[in-house]
């Protein structure tokens, strides 16, 4: 029997309640859910990689099926390294779907053995994005209502 390993890729800069909602709902679907923090040398993250990994580990400390790793390069190559057959993506709005569908189609063309699974955000978390949370933080606002309690900046 093959393991159902899934990669949930993203920057998680920072991990939001929207991410947590998707992860909590997806964890029961797979034997292992790897939260993959993609690193891009041309982009500067607000929070250091090790800090983001620590936050994710702390949020999911009691969930043995969730682990966090970082990677560079193509997501499909990282999936192959993990023996993951699934990629998880969260969808908030129709515009997210169009963008994510294009990526899923490209990934499937390059790696037909991979399936992308889309989960829609709960209504409560649909407006939360890391980009907006970073803007609140950058402008000295209080973003705590959008973040797990373990994420402190």
Length of the chain in residues, anyone?
Answer: 153
Choose the catalytic residue: 2, 41, 42, 43.
43
pLDDT tens sequence across 3-61: 899 999 999 999 999 999 999 999 999 999 999 999 977 778 999 999 999 999 999 99
Active site residue 70: no
92 against 65, higher pLDDT: 65
Q: Is residue 151 part of a domain?
A: no
Q: Is residue 22 part of a domain?
A: yes
pLDDT at 2: 62
- Which CATH number fits the domain that encloses residue 106? 3.40.50.620
Q: Whole-prediction pTM value?
A: 0.94
pLDDT tens sequence across 101-149: 999 999 999 999 999 999 999 888 888 999 999 999 999 999 999 999 9
Q: Is residue 152 part of a domain?
A: no
1 pLDDT more than 80: no
> How many Cβ atoms sit within 10 Å of the Cβ of residue 140?
6
- Whole-angstrom distance, CA of residue 147 vs CA of residue 70: 21
Q: Is residue 131 part of a domain?
A: yes
Number of domains in the chain: 1
Domain membership of residue 95 as a residue range: 5-146
Choose the catalytic residue: 19, 85, 125, 134.
19
pLDDT band at 83 (very low <50, low <70, confident <90, very high): very high
Active site residue 19: yes
Among residues 61, 65, 60, 59, the alpha carbon closest in space to that of 28 is found at 65
Q: Is residue 153 part of a domain?
A: no
Q: Are 26 and 117 in contact (CB under 8 A)?
A: yes
Q: Is residue 14 part of a domain?
A: yes
Choose the catalytic residue: 92, 101, 108, 122.
92
DSSP state of 82: H
- Could you tell me the sign of the dihedral formed by the alpha carbons of 141, 146, 152, 153, in that order? negative
């Amino acid at each position: 029997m093959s393991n159902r390993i899934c990669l949930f890729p993203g920057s998680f800069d920072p991990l939001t309640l929207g991410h947590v909602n998707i992860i909590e709902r997806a964890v029961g679907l797979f034997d292992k859910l790897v939260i993959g923090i993609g690193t891009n040398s041309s982009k500067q993250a607000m929070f250091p990689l090790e800090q983001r990994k620590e936050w994710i580990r702390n949020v999911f400390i009691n969930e043995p099926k969730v682990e966090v790793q970082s990677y560079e390069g193509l997501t499909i190559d990282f999936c192959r390294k993990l023996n993951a057959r699934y990629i998880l993506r969260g969808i908030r709005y129709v515009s997210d779907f169009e963008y994510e569908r294009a990526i899923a189609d490209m990934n499937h063309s390059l790696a037909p053995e991979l399936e992308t699974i889309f989960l829609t955000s709960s209504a409560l978390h649909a407006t939360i994005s890391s980009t907006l949370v970073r803007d609140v933080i950058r402008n000295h606002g209080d973003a705590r209502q959008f973040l797990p309690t373990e994420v402190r900046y």
